[in-house]
Each structure stands twice: as structure tokens, then as C-alpha cells.
A and B are shown apart, each in its own frame.
Chain A
Amino acid sequence: MRKIAMGLLALTVAGVGGIMALRLFPVAAPVTPITLVGDVASGGYLARASGCIACHTDVKGGGRPLAGGTGFETQFGTVYAPNLTTDVEYGIGDWTIEDFAKAVRQGLSPDDIPYYPVFTYAFYQDFTDQQIADLWAAFQTVGSVNEPAPKTDLGFPFSERAGLKLWRAAFMYAPRTSPVLGQSDAWNRGRELVEGATHCAACHTDRNIAGGRKVNTGRMQGNNALPGGSKAPAITSAALAAAGWDLDNLSYALQTGITPTGDAFGGSMGEVVQMGTKFLTEEDRIAMATYLMDQSDD
């Protein structure tokens, strides 16, 4: 009996020690000061492409733009999108541009606490300082909403955000945005959008038991267990072609939601178009479709 008690004590000490060590373990990369002047219109465009407005606006609950509150029901519990308005109390009104850069590119709070990977920061890791400055300028135009978004409170052990440092080490993949020699400009632009800002793979790639993307075995092959219980179909080039998609109707669907059968997207894809891709230029939608229909470097 005593041995068991001692064993449990040892485990607890080790566990607490482990958590303490993880909490102290630094993961933030240094953020160099950003002095570039941002362009509001370019930032707004990138914010649309990146889904900032789509995820951080509680459309169903009638919430104001970017005030957060959207709930994502994952197998670990419900994660709520925070308020990203300029509100000093509940939003990001007291942040610096460097705080913002660290959040977007590294998925870390101003205090270096990791965000849950429902936030698709991994896809934004390649954003340039200019893009960050543009986004930052655009976010400054958002009216303050002095209301807190619901707090995310997952049960232990997921409530311990320091544990996400281990998750990051295992599953925070670099985006595949770099241009490929020999491909057209449209294809490379599409790659930059699809693999980066528009983060298609966040929903269209299956995840493992720990919520990490199966980048080797399930890339773009669909996900039957999205937050909230919806499904994303496979969007490998072959799967898209088999489902009747081509460069032309796919780029058009990203604008209108119209599918090859004459149906209109519903579910989260409908929201992606409504709040994101319909705001893109035709050139960019064609670029996305060009890449999606020919993901030939895989």
C-alpha cells in the first residue's frame, strides 16, 4: 500500500515537474521589429483569403465582424475563436505589431502561450513582414467590440496549453508554399494560396488521434470528422476530376458556390466562399483551381 502511494506521489511529482518544465520551455522564435507601412486594402484582401473573418465572426450567433465567439467542437472540447477587434479590454487593441506577427506566424500569444491548432497559424508561417504589416493595418480599421468571446476551457490534460509545445514539435508542419521551378506563374500563385493563406488542407486532410494532420498518408484526401461533425471531401487532383471538377468550374465555384451539378455549396465550404474566396480576384481563383487540379509535385 505504501509502495503504491509512493509510486503515485513520484508520478505526480514527475507529472507536475514535466508540466512546469514544459511551461518554461521556450518555443518562440525572436520577432524582429516590423517598421514597414502596411497597406489596408492588401491586408483586408489577405484577411479574407486567410479566413480571419470567416472563423472569428460568429455569424450563427449574429456576432459582429471579428468579435470572435465561434465555437469549434473538437474531440478535445469546444474551442472558441477570440475577439480580434481593436478593443483594448477584450480584443487585441493593446497588442503591438510584433505581438500580432508572433500570433499569426508562430501561433503564440504575447506571453508565448501556444494557441490551440484550431487556429491555422501553421499555414501562415511564411507570411512576409510586409504581409503582416498589411494585415495589421487592416485590423486597425475594425471597430472595437467591448465584449468577451467565451473562454475556451478544455478538460485536463488539454487545458494545459504548455502540452501544445510537444504537439507543435510533432505536428507543426512548414507550409508548402515555395514556388516550383518550371511551373506557371498561375500554378505557383495557386500553390502559395492553397498551401498557405487559404489553408485548404486544414479541413481537407484527415487528422490523427492527436489532431495532427496526416500529411504523408492523407494529404487532401478528405476528413470525415471536422469540428462540429461535418465532413470535407477529398480534393486531390484525381478526386476532384473524378467528381466532375475542372479548372473552369472549380474557379467559378470559389466565386459563386455553384457545383458541377448545379447545386450550391452548403456547410463550411459555403461559408468559405461567402466569407472568403468570393472576395478574391478572378485571377487568384483561377490560380487556386490551376494548382488544385494539378498538384503534380506530390
Chain B
Amino acid sequence: MNKTKITRTMKQIVIRNGRLIDPLHGTDTVADLFIAEGKIAGIGAAPAGFVAEDAIDATGLVVTTGLVDLAARLREPGFEYKATLESEMAAAVAGGVTSICCPPDTDPPLDKPGLVTMLRQRAKNHDLARLYPVGALTVGLNGRQITEMAQLREAGCVAFSQGDVPIADLQVLYRAMQYAANFGFALRLRPEEASLVNDGVAHDGEYASRLGLTGIPVVAETIAIAQITQLMRATGCRVHLARVSSGAGVALVREAKQHGLPLTCDVDINHVHLADVDIGYFNSQYRFDPPLRGVRDRDAIVAGLIDGTIDAICSDHSPVDDDGKLLPFAEAERGATGLELLLPLTLAWAERAGVSLPQALAKVSSTPAAMVGFEASLSIGARADLTVFDPDASWRVTTDALKSQGKNTPFLGYELKGRVRHTLVKGKRVFDA
């Protein structure tokens, strides 16, 4: 990278009088913040020789590290009719998300170094959020042949995953974990035993029974977690569990962590707020994989976030067009748009659960950043990926208000607090409301 060239195009920016929240260090103070050469150059007092070429007045606003989303589907390559890199990158920065991990379940899947290089280059051309691809764990996500993980890592993959396609053959998973452990790579696995999902579409509980929807039992998750933790013990592989959904699953993760396994996990923001009973009369906006589980499961997720069992919250951003949703519940496409809702819904959770802003924001910035492999903090020398938001500004979630090409979410029509005013990536303003 040509550093001198970058330096020349970068403005020195001062963000004045903002409430600086550093989730990594848990600090919350009002001060000026100075940016130079894409990095934080000063806090409180300007560094020597600083000349502000640009200023942001952040009076009454929160200034914090940019959000890091561990799972956002951008639909490129292969599903451009649903969304494009450009539309979703714009949605990300509008939502204060400065770094995105994209799962490998594109078409073709991210199973070749060339594809990863191309995707990263295309993302770089848009020059909005940073993109961290997650490579495919098996070729074509076929669950049989492991990928060239080391070469994928060189091409920029930060972890390896099967997306939502679990590996049925434990022999393959075992070997894949050994191979990844050999290089010190982390796997991101969604804990789900496919044979227990079968044709299930909703949490196997009273509500699904009432609606006559085929249930996905909690054991589909707990059995997978048990298998994965056993294989971790056998292989030493680091694993991050993607989108744990059940109270029993959270309990298993807690236990594994207590035993010192190198296990981390996340939950998607929808599962922090919603439960199976919200499906109402077959509302396909509530069709998720894993399914929305019972109210007690949701409460266990909230408790797991507070006690640290659950490390991070992701958006699980999945742009789905209306054609994908205007179908009977079981046939409807799963998922919801989320990049622009991650911040306000995290704030809503924090308020309801009585969690401090630094602690809540850590779940969507500094902690996932550490999993990706960088430090997100408000300290001198840290990357100037910043989100400036008004925590008290309310806005209504409408299709017009969303920049993402995916307009479908259960939160359409909701009034949410927390509006992003400015987003900076590498010290550059990439979004201003």
C-alpha cells in the first residue's frame, strides 16, 4: 500500500465536544477528538502541528468506534437482484457499521482465493465500509472437500465457515478443524444438526404446534454445540458459534467457556428482541434461521449477553425482496435487513436491560473487532473508524428510510431511538445524515 499517497488525500478532522464512548476501555467522557492520517491523533488536546481542515460539531452526540458486524450478507456475487455491494455498503455506513464480515454463501461461494481478492477489490472501489470476507470451509460448501484455507487466508479471509449449510459428515468437520488448528485459523460455525431440522421452519414449541408449523427442536442446536465442543477438545481448533438461539445452547456455551475452551459466540439482533409468539398469523417477516425461539430462550440470550457468555451481537443482515416474503410462512425466504437497525436495536436492548452504553456498544464494536483481528478503540493511534450518533433522536423504520436494497424486517413501522449523523472510515467522512 502506498502510504504517502494516502496521507496526501486525507484531511485532518476535528470532532468537537462529542460524548466519547470507548467500548474497549469502558470510558465515557466529553471531549474533542482529532483525526489525522486516518488515525486518531489526539483526544482532548490537539496534537502538535494539527491544523483542522474539517470539523464536525458533535455537541449532544455520541462519538464511538465504528460498528463491526460479524455477519452481513451483501448478496454479491450471485444474488445482485436482491442487493449489491454498493447498496449494502451504503446501508452499512448509514447504520454506523464500518467493518463487515460477509459469509461465504454467495454464488459461487467464497471458496477460491481469486473470488475473495475480487470481492475485496470491488469493496475497496466503493470506498465505504471495510470488508472482511469469511471463506468457505468446504469447496462449494459441499461439506466434503476442505478448501485451500491457507491461500484463502492470504487473500484476506478472516475466518472460515459453512454459512448456513452445516457439515453433515463429522469426519469432514473433524479434519477441517484439525486443518484449521494447524494454521491457527478460527472457524465460525452455526450450531445446527441438519437431520433434526428436517423440514422445520419454526421453534418446536407450543406456538408452532398451534400454527401447525413444522418445529425445529432445541436439541438440533444443543447436539451440534456438544459435537463442536468435543471436536474442539480433540483438535484445539478455535471456534466462534454463529447465532446461538436457545437458552440451553447458551448454557452449553457458558459451560464450555468455564472449562477454558477457546470458544466465542454471537447472537443476531433479531433474537435479542423477538420470540416465536411474535410470528402472529404466519407473518413471514419473522421467518429466521435459526428460528425465533421461546420467550424464555430470548431471556436467556439477554442474560448471556450481560454475563459475557455471548460475546457479540451481529445484524445477520439478509436483504430479501418482497417476492421472497409474500409466500406461505414455510416457503418464505428467511432473514431480514439489519445493517441500519443494528445500532438502534442494540441501544433499545441496552435501555431495556439496564446495560451501560459502553458495555452495549462493545458487543457490536470492540469485541467483534478483536475476533476479526484488530483493535477498535478510542485511543491515540487507533484507526479512525468512527460512528457519530444521536442517542435520543427517534426515527421510524420505513422502506424509504432504509438505504439497503432489502426492505423487509419485522421492525418495519417501529419507532426506534438512535440516529447515525456521521460515519468515518479510515479518517474519511463516508456518511453524513
* A, B co-complexed: no
Residues of A within 8 A of B (CB): none
Residues of B within 8 A of A (CB): none
